[in-house]
Chains A and B, each alone.
Chain A
Amino acid sequence: EPEVTQTPSHQVTQMGQEVILRCVPISNHLYFYWYRQILGQKVEFLVSFYNNEISEKSEIFDDQFSVERPDGSNFTLKIRSTKLEDSAMYFCASSIRRGGYTFGSGTRLTVV
C-alpha cells in the first residue's frame, strides 16, 4: 500500500536554528498538507498546498514557517528560527481531491 514517508523521524535542534522537515507524498496525489501535534494536545492544521502554491494556512503558520516542493517528489516544511514552543510531532499528509488523507508517521521535533 502506498505510504507517505517523512524524514527524519526525530530531530533535536537548538533554539534559533533553522530546521527542514522532509516528506515524500504518494506519487499520484496532488494535495499536500502539514499538521502538528504538541504532546497531549489535538492535531492542528498548519498549511495546505496545491499546484505549487499555498492554498490555506492557519494562524500557527506565521512568517517563521515556509513550505516548498523543490522537485517532483519532495515536500518540505522549513522553520526559520525555532522556538521552544515549536517542539511537537509534525505530520505530512497527501490526498487526491475527494479522497482520504494519507498521513506519514511524523517527525518528532525537539527544540532545546
Chain B
Amino acid sequence: DAKTTQPNSMESNEEEPVHLPCNHSTISGTDYIHWYRQLPSQGPEYVIHGLTSNVNNRMASLAIAEDRKSSTLILHRATLRDAAVYYCILRDVENYGGSQGNLIFGKGTKLSVKP
C-alpha cells in the first residue's frame, strides 16, 4: 500500500538540473514529505524534507504543490556523484509509534547521470 508514486528511472546529463517527481494524492495534513537517496553500496542518506512550503538546503530544493498531492525534488546541477536511487516517503509525525510514523521505503527512482 504505497503512499507515494515515483518513476522507476530517470536520466540526466551532468551539470544540468534534474526534477524528480513524486505523487502522494492521499497525503494527510500531518504527513511530512521526506526525500532520501542511496548511492551504490551505501546506506540511505537524508536529502531534504518539508511540510507545506518549498524548502532549500545545500543538497537540493523541494517544491511542494499547493494541494500537497505532489512534490518535486530539484537537483540544481547534477554531478556524477548524484547517481543514486531517490526515495520520496511520507512520514506522519503526529502518529509516531504507528506505522505511518516511520520511514517506509518503496522502490524509488533510479537516477542515472551521463557525463
Contacts and interface: CB of A to CB of B under 8 A. Distances in A.
Q: How large is the interface on A (under 10, 10 to 19, 20 to 34, 35 or more residues)?
A: 20 to 34
B54 to A, nearest CB: 16
Interface string B92-110: 0100111101111111100
A106 interface: yes
Interface string A91-108: 101000111111111100
Contacts of B49: 99-100
B38 interface: yes
10 contacts: A33-B102, A42-B108, A50-B96, A55-B97, A91-B44, A98-B32, A99-B49, A100-B34, A100-B36, A100-B49
Contacts of B98: 56
A48 interface: yes
A43 B46 contact: no
Given A43-B38, A56-B99, A100 B46 contact: yes
A49 to B, nearest CB: 11
Given A42-B105, A42-B107, A43-B105, A101 B99 contact: no
Interface of A: 31, 33, 35, 42-45, 48, 50, 55-56, 89, 91, 93, 97-106
Contact of B102 (A45, A102, A106): A45
B106 A42 contact: yes
Q: How large is the interface on B (under 10, 10 to 19, 20 to 34, 35 or more residues)?
A: 20 to 34
A103 B45 contact: yes
Interface of B: 32, 34, 36, 38, 42-46, 48-49, 87, 93, 96-99, 101-108
Contact of B46 (A56, A91, A102): A102
Contact of B43 (A44, A48, A99, A103): A103
B101 A56 contact: yes
Nearest to A89: B43
Contacts of A97: 93, 96
